[in-house]
Amino acid sequence: MGWMLLILAGFSEVVMVTFMKLSEGFKKLVPSLLSFLAGALSFYLLSLSLLDIPVSTGYGIWTGIGSAGAVMIGMIFFKETKDIKRVFFIFCIIGSIIGLKIVS
């Protein structure tokens, strides 16, 4: 159960930063509120997952999902560069997440 909560927390983190971008510096009300709600949900789910998962593993995976997800959202929806170096390092993050899961 802890791992499912951790994955959901990571995806909530991606939703948070996406709405943060759409809020244009918290100048738009609806995206700002959605960003705060997704962030609160992310922290809550992370806290629940850390009841079952070591903090070092949980936090590393949570930030990895958030980082890789934010980069992918940026490339897909916000026209950020899609060069091979960025894609390579996203795969490095994903590989690290998988590695942390394997050794936990």
For helices 84-103 and 55-77, give the axis angle rounded to 10 degrees: 150
- In the chain, what are the helix, strand and coil shares in percent, each to the nearest 5? 80, 0, 20
The pLDDT tens digits for 57-71 are 999 999 999 999 999
Compute the chain's Rg from CA coordinates. 14
- Number of domain units in the chain: 1
Range of the domain at 23: 2-103
The pLDDT tens digits of the residues spanning 46-102 come to: 999 999 999 999 999 999 999 999 999 999 999 999 999 999 999 999 999 999 889
Q: What is the value of pTM for the model shown?
A: 0.90
Other beta carbons less than 10 A from residue 16's beta carbon: 22
Whole-angstrom Cα distance, residue 27 to residue 43? 23
